[in-house]
Amino acid sequence: MAKVDVTGAARADLIEILWTSFDRWGEDGKARYESLLEAAIQELGADPEHLMSKDCRELAPRLRSFHVRHMGRDHGVKAPVHVVYYRYYRKARASIVIVRVLHERMDPSVHLTATPR
């Protein structure tokens, strides 16, 4: 299991996503989406090179992405719309850093340009 860190920008993304979920679908919908996002991040910690993740080195070094729709429907979310962007470091103790969590319609090149390496 890789160590998982979350940047301030990603934390802000998650807070905004959960507030939006609450506004649109209430407490139950927010809880389902939160469970889905937490499971996706845990999945990436367990398998940073997940089969359904993508190499995004054209955007930034070591950057990968994972669309949460690949988590399936076990969390009661019919159509997840967010992508987790993260960096994977394969040192003696593997780690990942969640850089951003963006809506699938957002252009990652705009939102990832200022992320630390």
Q: Where are the beta strands (DSSP E) in the chain?
A: 3-6, 54-55, 63-67, 82-89, 95-103
Q: Is the CB of residue 65 less than 8 Å from the CB of residue 56?
A: yes
Mean pLDDT to the nearest integer, 99-115: 86
In the chain, the domains with their CATH numbers are 3-111 (3.30.2310.20)
Task: Tell me which DSSP letter residue 71 carries.
Answer: G
Rounded to two decimals, the pTM is 0.91
Mean pLDDT to the nearest integer, 65-89: 91
pLDDT tens per residue across span 8-58: 999 999 999 999 999 999 999 999 999 999 999 999 999 999 999 999 999
